[in-house]
Amino acid sequence: MKADLLVGNIGQLATLRGPAGPRRGPDLADAGLVAGAALAAAAGRVVAAGPADAVRRQVDLAAGARVIDAGGALVTPGYVDPHTHALFGRYRADEYALRVAGTPYVEIAASGGGIHASVSDFRERSDGEIAALSLPRLRRMIRNGSTTIELKSGYGLNLEQELRALRLIRDLDGSLPATLVPTFLGAHEIPAERREDREAYVDELCDVWLPAVAKQGIARFCDVFCEPTVFTLDESERILRSARGLGLGLKIHADEIAPGYGGAALAARLEATSAEHLIVIAEGDLDALAASGTVAVLLPATSLGLASTTFAPARKMVAAGVAVALATDFNPGSACCESMGLVLSLACSALRLDPAEALVAATHNAAWACGEGEQAGSLVPGKRADLLVHDAADLRELPYHMGFASVDRVLIAGREICFTESELRDRPRPV
């Protein structure tokens, strides 16, 4: 085989070679580690990965091939972030201060804050403003190792604004090296002006908005914020069934606020691709989730951002056989976190995942949670050559060295990605 990229002198390579599909139970802890390794790629795809001598026997370097000396470092797949709200205008740092002082999120939202505040801000900004504000944030996510990023709409909450958001995501995908996965979240909240006719709002979502989104082909998934104070179980099921009928994949914000509400069980029943948050999932719903193909996407940075010490019961999920993934939930309010590295630290220290489990959850399983399992999440032949060279020698250093940006080099489809400091800096913005 001809290769146009060779990464050699890898001290520890996490291939994540193993069973296809989301990993569960003991398989979650198998990062496919190889010592003294190398990786070869051609045309942006992995062609060989494993012991250095074996890789060199399998490939010939093409003329002009690039050779990278990893210097004995740890190399992993690029992180996959399967739950973000990174398309927005201003940050809501004012609300963070309120939460730290003890004001509950639900109370802040009821007084016009929360999602409602971001909706008002989004509607007032031009396409150019939203793109200029979102672009450096996404670049920082890439610089921190996220090579595939799911990105939700949901701050427009009328048809015109939601379609605008999805078009902006499409445009950002064309201008960034990472793969962006677009998700329609028109059911993020019921806007203030529609509170008196919520049934009509749900009717519009199902009968007008979803067909328009599907017709334009600008979303791969439909998500719903399923909570008794947002969209009920019945409303969520109706929206998701309508989305599935139009060919969209299904995601659910589930069991984040109301204990044991049943969003996870709904996700399992509908065979949704993912159920996300699950901080207060009912123990009785764990078996249903484990028996389904639905991936549980856990967002420990959200608990941190909400000034909470309550986290999803990850160890119980793993024991039950649930497929667990990790994500940042990067958004302007409850989880202002662009770093999957920090999420790995929280996953180990707060969720009690083993470091290898956390890495598998942040790569292989996370890829399956956003429809990219066949393309990303592991370093095996045929998949995108999305990989990270870390300033670390051992996988266990990733969560252990907290707050440290371990990612030294980012390669996406075999190409090294570098940003200038000015490209990573937020533009001036009103508070």
Q: Provide the CATH number for the domain around residue 197.
A: 3.20.20.140
Check whether residue 386 and residue 337 sit in a common domain.
no
* Containing structural domain, residue 221: 79-369
Provide the pLDDT for residue 431.
44
Check whether residue 303 and residue 382 sit in a common domain.
no
Check whether residue 169 and residue 56 sit in a common domain.
no
Q: Report the alpha-carbon distance of residue 81 to residue 253 in Å, rounded.
A: 15
Q: What is the pTM assigned to this prediction? A: 0.97
Q: What is the dihedral of CA 213, 368, 339, 77, to 10 degrees?
A: -130
On the question of pLDDT at 242 being above 80, the answer is: yes
Let me know if residue 334 belongs to a domain: yes
* pLDDT tens, position by position, 152-177: 999 999 999 999 999 999 999 999 99
On the question of pLDDT at 84 being above 90, the answer is: yes
* CATH number of the domain encompassing residue 40: 2.30.40.10
Let me know if residue 142 belongs to a domain: yes
Provide the pLDDT for residue 427.
67
Check whether residue 340 and residue 390 sit in a common domain.
no
Provide the pLDDT for residue 104.
86
Check whether residue 72 and residue 96 sit in a common domain.
no
Check whether residue 37 and residue 124 sit in a common domain.
no
The residues pairing with 10 across neighbouring beta strands, listed in sequence order, are 37
The whole-chain average pLDDT of the chain stands at: 96
Check whether residue 84 and residue 9 sit in a common domain.
no
Let me know if residue 424 belongs to a domain: no
Confidence band of 111 (pLDDT split at 50, 70, 90): confident
Check whether residue 116 and residue 263 sit in a common domain.
yes
Let me know if residue 59 belongs to a domain: yes
Check whether residue 195 and residue 311 sit in a common domain.
yes
Let me know if residue 134 belongs to a domain: yes
Three-state DSSP class for residue 36? strand
Structural domain count of the chain: 2
| DSSP symbols for 171-235 | HHHHHSSSEEEEEEEEET---GGGGGGHHHHHHHIIIIIHHHHHHHT--SEEEEEESTTSB-HHH
Check whether residue 214 and residue 146 sit in a common domain.
yes
Check whether residue 326 and residue 300 sit in a common domain.
yes
Check whether residue 20 and residue 65 sit in a common domain.
yes
Instruction: Using the 3D structure, point to which of 329, 345, 369 is the last residue of a domain.
Output: 369
Let me know if residue 56 belongs to a domain: yes
For β-strands 45-51 and 415-417, DSSP reports them as unpaired
* pLDDT tens, position by position, 364-381: 999 999 999 999 999 999
Q: Residue holding tokens 């009103």?
A: 430
Let me know if residue 431 belongs to a domain: no
Let me know if residue 184 belongs to a domain: yes
